[in-house]
């Protein structure tokens, strides 16, 4: 049983108070046994028994719950750097998609990639995520868009969960876009998702959630309802990419279906936001996607006023958000979405855990939760996000085990 001492400040991030209430403790200590936290408090209040334990030194740093990236598209073939340049020169995301770029070009590259190639590429990303203090992520399929290729992506996540320490919560996103071979008959593709892909994924327990991209050029509200109701019948939780490029009613549907989260929300109306709050749906802000697409960022203060809990995630994907730097997304959630640093931290820990149904296990530092935490090189979260530097974690611990130490490979 070890004890972490010499903590400058510790942010508990328990499910108490508003989003800015992160329950700071100066001069803290943290005790864990095996995979779980036993005690959190002031170092001077350590019991004599705990004070004799094996001591880990936090070096006066900031200790936060292991960061949770609750929205990523982790595994995909290729990258799309050339589209980045075209978007800068003025072409829109939808224009590029209509010319065969966008998601469909990644679908082609992903179908061609072997499982081994997808595994190795994702593994390299996960190893870097550990250096950021990240201990859990959600990861979507959605670049296969056939039964076999969607299974291939979800099997890669399953194998990664056995092969490395960062936990991956898998989401089926077969309804990302309609694949080219089904262009002539959208209904046939929706039927394939409902009658074959969802049942097979559920039977093999390869996903915890089902997500739909509700948008012009992707899926309509009615198609989303059909797909997500089928997912619920098969025991999957639901999520939506909602109201990103236009107001499409996705947020309202998320409330109606008691989704775990509604993600993006740039164009959601106040009424839809208050419906989300009422239904207990977490709103997820993805500011890197706004940054890369020159989109208008969501006003997170408007979400907070309507009573929505706001999680922060990267949306890591090869098109609209090709970065998995969650601390950078937290900084942008402050400067673009107007969360305070404390609110961004609760959004990337406890509320992110709620967005993936894991809040009973992770997301805060308190007794009986998993010993998932990071020691960051800053006195407090305000300084961390204001004086932004890459790779802030001195130490990242997952389920009681160090998965990253600064200065060691």
With respect to Zn ion, which residue has the nearer C-beta, 272 or 315? 315
Residue 223 near Zn ion by CB under 5 A: no
CA angle, 71 then 73 then 75, to 5°: 145
Query: Rounded to whole angstroms, how far apart are CA atoms 253 and 215?
Result: 13
Minimum Å gap between C-beta 71 and Zn ion is 6
Strand 401-405, strand 393-398: pairing: antiparallel
Residue 138 near Zn ion by CB under 5 A: no
**Quick one: how many helices (H) and strands (E) in the chain?**
17, 16
* Interface segment toward Zn ion; rule CB under 5 A; list 28-36, 83-91, 265-273, 314-322: 314-322
With respect to Zn ion, which residue has the nearer C-beta, 69 or 315? 315
Minimum Å gap between C-beta 213 and Zn ion is 7
CB contact set of 246 (below 8 Å; sequence gap of 6+) = 215, 216, 267
Minimum Å gap between C-beta 321 and Zn ion is 7
Residue 243 near Zn ion by CB under 5 A: no
Q: Which of 315, 359, 372, 377 binds Zn ion (CB under 5 A)?
A: 315
75 within 8 A of 122, measured Cβ to Cβ = yes
With respect to Zn ion, which residue has the nearer C-beta, 12 or 70? 70
Query: Rounded to whole angstroms, how far apart are CA atoms 175 and 251?
Result: 17
Minimum Å gap between C-beta 317 and Zn ion is 6
* Interface segment toward Zn ion; rule CB under 5 A; list 23-31, 146-154, 313-321, 357-365: 313-321
* Interface segment toward Zn ion; rule CB under 5 A; list 53-61, 230-238, 245-253, 312-320: 312-320
Q: How far is CA 348 from the centre of its chain?
A: 8
Query: Rounded to whole angstroms, how far apart are CA atoms 66 and 44?
Result: 24
Residue 272 near Zn ion by CB under 5 A: no
Where on the phi/psi map is residue 213: left (φ > 0), alpha (ψ -120 to 50), or beta? beta
Number of residues that bind Zn ion (CB under 5 A): 1
With respect to Zn ion, which residue has the nearer C-beta, 243 or 315? 315
Q: Give the binding site for Zn ion (CB under 5 A).
A: 315
């Amino acid at each position: 049983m070890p004890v972490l001492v010499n903590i400058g400040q510790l942010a508990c991030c328990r499910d108490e108070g508003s989003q800015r209430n992160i329950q700071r403790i100066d001069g803290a200590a943290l005790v864990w046994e095996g995979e779980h936290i036993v005690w959190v408090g002031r170092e001077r209040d350590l019991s004599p028994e705990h004070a004799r334990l094996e001591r880990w030194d936090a070096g006066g740093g900031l200790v936060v719950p292991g960061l949770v990236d609750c929205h990523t598209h982790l595994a995909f073939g290729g990258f799309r750097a050339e589209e980045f340049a075209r978007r800068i020169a003025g072409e829109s995301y939808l224009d590029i998609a209509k010319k065969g770029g966008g998601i469909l070009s990644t679908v082609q590259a992903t179908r061609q990639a072997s499982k081994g190639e997808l595994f190795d590429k994702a593994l390299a990303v996960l190893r870097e995520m550990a250096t950021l203090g990240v201990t859990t992520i959600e990861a979507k399929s959605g670049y296969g868009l056939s039964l076999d290729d969607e299974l291939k992506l979800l099997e890669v996540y399953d194998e990664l969960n056995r092969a490395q320490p960062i936990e991956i919560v898998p989401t089926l996103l077969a309804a990302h876009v309609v694949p080219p071979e089904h262009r002539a008959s959208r209904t046939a593709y929706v039927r394939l998702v409902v009658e074959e892909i969802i049942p097979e994924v559920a039977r093999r327990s390869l996903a915890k959630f089902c997500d739909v991209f509700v948008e012009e050029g992707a899926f309509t509200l009615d198609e989303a309802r059909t797909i997500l109701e089928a997912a619920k019948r098969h025991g999957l939780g639901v999520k939506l990419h909602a109201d990103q490029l236009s107001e499409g009613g996705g947020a309202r549907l998320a409330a109606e279906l008691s989704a775990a989260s509604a993600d993006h929300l740039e164009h959601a109306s106040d009424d839809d936001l208050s419906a989300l709050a009422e239904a207990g749906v977490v709103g997820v802000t993805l500011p890197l996607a706004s940054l890369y697409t020159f989109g208008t960022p969501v006003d997170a203060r408007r979400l907070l006023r309507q009573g929505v809990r706001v999680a922060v995630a990267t949306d890591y994907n090869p098109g609209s958000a090709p970065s998995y730097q969650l601390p950078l997304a937290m900084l942008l959630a402050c400067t673009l979405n107007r969360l305070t640093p404390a609110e961004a931290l609760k959004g990337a820990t406890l509320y992110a855990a709620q967005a993936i149904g894991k809040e009973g296990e992770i997301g805060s530092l308190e007794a009986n939760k998993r010993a998932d935490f990071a020691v960051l090189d800053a006195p407090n979260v305000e300084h961390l996000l204001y004086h932004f530097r890459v790779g802030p974690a001195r130490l990242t611990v997952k389920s009681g085990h160090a998965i990253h130490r600064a200065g060691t490979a």
